[in-house]
Structure 1
């Protein structure tokens, strides 16, 4: 639950949509919002695979890793590479930062923690990652010691599995 603007909001997507709208990260019109939602929802599917990976059983870890990398490099990243090429802008939607850009960046950073070369075949996504990561507020958030996220340790994994 997040308390913001005298409201108590639950559900991650509702919270993120509210914050994105409040901070002008949700497009300039309904068409841009639809594209942002489409890219975000697709990225959430990839994020789910990445977030569940540490909780894989030892027997399934190798298979899940291969599937995660395969989906990223054959399904998700080619789409975003094409969007950047076809759109011809620095951002996925419109001409300013949106929630979609932040979500795709987070997916890239999460998967690179497991496979640092995952973007090797995607030059536009490499440039996108560098560009978005260097925006002042995002750069600050990505610095060591920030609250971005922590890797689940063995104790957390065992607690969640039981």
Structure 2
């Protein structure tokens, strides 16, 4: 029997969090090896485990997988969260890329210069409400189903819920103009494996503390 996937990253959200979401939703138990200092990262590099010298890295099925998108695609396909055919996968990919763009803006927010933080936060809210969430609201309306693609939970739905919850940490009423997304959030949050992942004590990581995030990066890369 294959061992549990092992995730190599810092003890924080970053680019690994969406991978944690996928595994948890699929009901897959996983282990985490946290990178806490520069030497931890250098060891992975020196051992030849990082194809492009960077994390996240996931040990799964005898592979040491890197690149967030590749890892996500593999896990989604392995656990039947990636559509039934090429067309469905194309739609899932487009939806995932959209939510990724929004989440990357949020990921970088703690590292923005102090004098631009307020402006950048306003941009995140503006993009969420005028560029990204309207697309998903319309998709649910046009599709007429509970999920974005087909009538089955997919990577696209999991990623969208993660993005919604991230933006709500900045603006709790962000979905006030999106009734279908409000209903979507309620449905998907109550899927048993997701509901479990959202409970305290799970491997889901808390919102990023800005000072701690900056200090961690400086320590890890000795800057």
Range into which the TM-score falls when normalised by the shorter chain? over 0.9
The structure with the largest alpha-carbon Rg is 2
Q: Which has the higher relative contact order, 1 or 2, with Cα contacts under 8 A spaced 6 or more apart?
A: 2
Aligned counterpart, 1:123: 179
Q: What is the rounded CA distance, in whole Å, between the counterparts of 1:59 and 1:51 in structure 2?
A: 17
* Runs of at least 5 residues in structure 1 that lack an aligned partner in the other structure: none
Does residue 7 in structure 1 map to residue 63 in structure 2? yes
Query: 2:35 maps to what in 1?
Result: none
**CA distance in structure 1 between the partners assigned to 2:167 and 2:178 by the alignment:** 14
> Which structure has more helix as a fraction of its residues?
1
Q: How many residues align?
A: 162
1:43 is aligned to 2:99: yes
CA-based RMSD: 1.2
- The 5 Å alignment of 1:75-114 reads 75-114=131-170
Cα displacement (A) at 1:151: 2.7
Give me the whole-angstrom Cα distance separating, in 2, the residues matched to 1:156 and 1:103.
22
Q: Equivalent residue of 1:9, what SS? A: strand
52-61 or 42-51, larger mean C-alpha shift: 52-61
Tell me which of 62, 65, 72 is aligned to 1:16: 72
Report the secondary structure of 1:119's partner residue: coil
The Cα of 1:99 is off from its aligned counterpart by 0.2
Contact preservation (8 Å) 2:110, 2:213: no
Specify every segment of 5 or more residues in structure 2 that has no aligned partner in the other structure, as ranges: 1-56
Q: Which runs of 4+ in 1 moved over 2 A?
A: 150-153, 158-162
Secondary structure of 1:8's counterpart equals strand
2:83 to 2, 23, 27: 27
Distance 1:60 1:160 in 2: 20
Match of 2:190 in 1: 134
